[in-house]
Amino acid sequence: MRPFRLAGGSRDHPAYWAFAVHRLSGLLLALFLPAHFYVLSRAIQGAAALDAVLAWTEGPLVKAAEVGLIILLAAHLTGGLRLLAVEFLPWRDWQKTLIAVTAGASLLIGLGFLINVA
């Protein structure tokens, strides 16, 4: 099976990397869902069970993972908006700039969350 290629066949094109980040962020967010559902199930089991999980989430590794999760969410959101622009607007050179702006916006959102968590 041949890997995905853009019209020019180049993996150096920003659109390829935007595509890859969007797909990877979606996959990683889907892998996060079982952990999210586990925490929700602990809430159903009672306050003590939920408090135990919430106490565990105060650790620095979990806080770092939360920042990563926010960056993944922001990357997936901005990548989806970029995809909508590609689908519904004619291709222009400014769309390469839009790809860079969405990547920067994703990182800024994640770093903003990190500042609020600390």
Chunked into runs of 10 residues, the chain (118 residues) has average pLDDT values of 54 79 91 88 87 88 88 87 80 75 82 74
* Helix pair 14-45, 60-88: axis angle to 10 deg: 130
Q: Residue 4's pLDDT is what? A: 52
Q: Residue 79's pLDDT is what? A: 85
**Number of folded domains that form the chain:** 1
CB 112 within 8 A of CB 28: no
Domain CATH number, residue 110: 1.20.1300.10
The amino acid at 51? D
Structural domain contains residue 80: yes
Structural domain contains residue 3: no
